[in-house]
Amino acid sequence: MERKVKVGLIQYQIKPDWAENVAKVEKLLELVKDGGADLAILPEMFICPYELDLFPRFAEPIPNGRTCEILSGWAANLNLHIVGGSLPERDERGNLYNTATLWDNQGNLLAAHRKIHLFDVDLPGGVSFHESALLTPGQKITVLEILGMRLGIAVCYDIRFPELFRLMALAGADFVALPGAFNNVSGPAHWELSLRGRAVENTIYIAGVSGLAPPDSSYQSWGHSMMVDPFGQVPLHLGQTEGFGVVEVDPERIKDIRARLPLLKQRRVDLYDLRLLKS
Amino acid sequence: MERKVKVGLIQYQIKPDWAENVAKVEKLLELVKDGGADLAILPEMFICPYELDLFPRFAEPIPNGRTCEILSGWAANLNLHIVGGSLPERDERGNLYNTATLWDNQGNLLAAHRKIHLFDVDLPGGVSFHESALLTPGQKITVLEILGMRLGIAVCYDIRFPELFRLMALAGADFVALPGAFNNVSGPAHWELSLRGRAVENTIYIAGVSGLAPPDSSYQSWGHSMMVDPFGQVPLHLGQTEGFGVVEVDPERIKDIRARLPLLKQRRVDLYDLRLLKS
């Protein structure tokens, strides 16, 4: 990683109305751009409420759908790299995915990360969700070069799996953008824990970016979008209200922490082996 | 795992005087036995201060040393399983290890876990420690059957490495005993985070058990011994004072959390592979 990158995190109430969400995001993108952001990150399912029965209704092809068209235009017009949170993708065979897109500041699609680990849980307190009833899981990890850094992309439940984040770090990731939507049970129990844990064990930055749900929604997203640094500190934390913030990913901080706490070098690769089977 | 197991955690100030430590531990073991413990866990380097230059002075062979003799006697006399924290082991070739021993309630040595990941750091705030200057790392993971459960043993810095804990969980561990000694920098930053993170991602219990240091010691152990459950909750937390507590490892809790949050089954073993190279 060559230089500091300014990252904008965006958190807002996601409505069942596509155009209303689009209008809201546009304003927030202008604000993070004003704040100096090089890269903006939107929440998981940023144009449609996080409700299983709404995914097919909002699903669209990538990149030839209305939401990708809007994302590409924002990126080019604002001269801003954007992780287009995620959206329900429908491929040519009719399969649905929970897919995060990455756009460069000229409006080109650089990557589409399909959520690898689908969210199938029955949490204490009555929160049940079964993405696999409807969605197809992704088949590859996503780490690529932009803005002089190695950016990893993962979606929500992907954070639960240390193997994925270790493989991203070993592929050189300096920073992982994680659109997510934990809930009022898993959120207080595990959201910050998971983000900080993965960041520290891999000495990387992670931004977890979540939307909020209207009060009458069946699924209450936890919000609490935050940036976590390679020592597990939290320079930005948005709580559970609408808001945004711009914070730096600093290569000197990564270098300093890795010199002090060289975890990636101290792995016992003579005792255990972790490898990617497909790429 | 067949039934509940009561686990005693023991935390005290570890002095440079072997006999003084032994007398303290004996009283605390009697107290956790009175509290109904089936298994007691002692801190890392439980008979010698956590200072590199003291390790050779306190080092002894396993099982034919004075500390193992004492541990075996306590286990048999108290009818108590004991994880003998760790002690500086000297093998027949003169190599030194940071080794945790496990004793059954008849005083038999069941296992000796040599710390796999040595503690070599230069933390912000001036805490530097380099175990590898003196110690040899362990070459195997430790998971075995006692008291109707699968018990894993790891030592302190081992907690930093998700690969090790995942491999223990995949080897069936219900519970991991982790004698440790984080410090006043890594402790507040990462001790609870690491224990809770590893417990949740593997849906297992973990007990982190640390000693305390006298105020004039060069290395200030963080204490804060705690039991963490498979959902990341903390039923026992000893703070930074001398003390003990007895808490349950409950197979029903593990079963319930794994049914709700089936993380171990949701690993994408078609995409990545984690394996042990030696055993």
pLDDT above 70 covers a percentage of chain B that reads 100
Catalytically annotated residues of A:
44, 115, 156
Chain B residues near residue A196 by CB distance under 8 angstroms: 193, 197
pLDDT tens digit sequence for A129-167? 999 999 999 999 999 999 999 999 999 999 999 999 999
pLDDT digits (tens, 9 = 90+) for B81-90: 999 999 999 9
Note whether A218 and A194 are within 8 A (CB).
Answer: no
Chain A residues closer than 8 Å to B118 by CB: 266
pLDDT (tens digit, 9 = 90+) per residue, B58-74? 999 999 999 999 999 99
Provide, as residue numbers in chain B, all residues whose Cβ is less than 8 Å from the Cβ of A194.
Answer: 197, 200-201
Cross-chain Cβ contact A189/B232 below 8 Å:
yes
Smallest Cα–Cα separation from B229: which of B264, B262, B198, B259?
Answer: B198
pLDDT of residue A279: 60
CB-CB under 8 Å, B270 with A277? yes
Three-class SS state of B224: coil
The chain B residue lying nearest A128, using CA atoms, is: B260
pLDDT given for residue A150 in this prediction: 98
ipTM higher than the 0.90 cut: yes
Which of A122, A127, A155, A161 to mutate to probe the B interface, most B CBs <10 Å?
Answer: A161
Q: pTM (2 decimals)?
A: 0.97
Tell me how far apart the alpha carbons of residues A174 and A254 are, in angstroms, rounded to a whole number. 8
pLDDT, tens digit (0-9, with 9 covering 90-100), for B148-193: 999 999 999 999 999 999 999 999 999 999 999 999 999 999 999 9
pLDDT, residue B2, reads 80
Per DSSP, what are the bridge partners of residue B111? B102
pLDDT at res. B77: 98
Walk me through the domains of chain A, giving residue ranges and CATH numbers: 5-278 (3.60.110.10)
Q: What is the pLDDT of residues B200-258, one digit of tens each?
A: 999 999 999 999 999 999 999 999 999 999 999 999 999 999 999 999 999 999 999 99
Q: Which residues of B touch A115 (CB under 8 A)?
A: none
Interface touch A275/B273, C-beta < 8 Å: yes
For chain A, give the mean pLDDT: 96
Q: Assign A101 to helix, strand or coil.
A: strand
Q: Which residues of chain A have pLDDT under 70?
A: 279
Neighbours of A80 (CB within 10 A): 21
User: How many Å lie between the alpha carbon of A131 and the closest alpha carbon of chain B?
Assistant: 12
Q: Is B156 a catalytic residue?
A: yes
Taking the C-alpha atoms of residue B179 and residue B196, their distance in angstroms, rounded to an integer, is 15
Give me the amino acid identity at A24.
Answer: K
> Between chain A and chain B, how many beta carbons pairs sit less than 8 Å apart?
139
CB contact under 8 A, A166 and B162: yes
What does R_g of chain A's alpha carbons equal in angstroms? 17
B279 pLDDT tier (thresholds 50, 70, 90): low
Let me know: does B190 contact B214? Beta carbons within 8 Å.
no
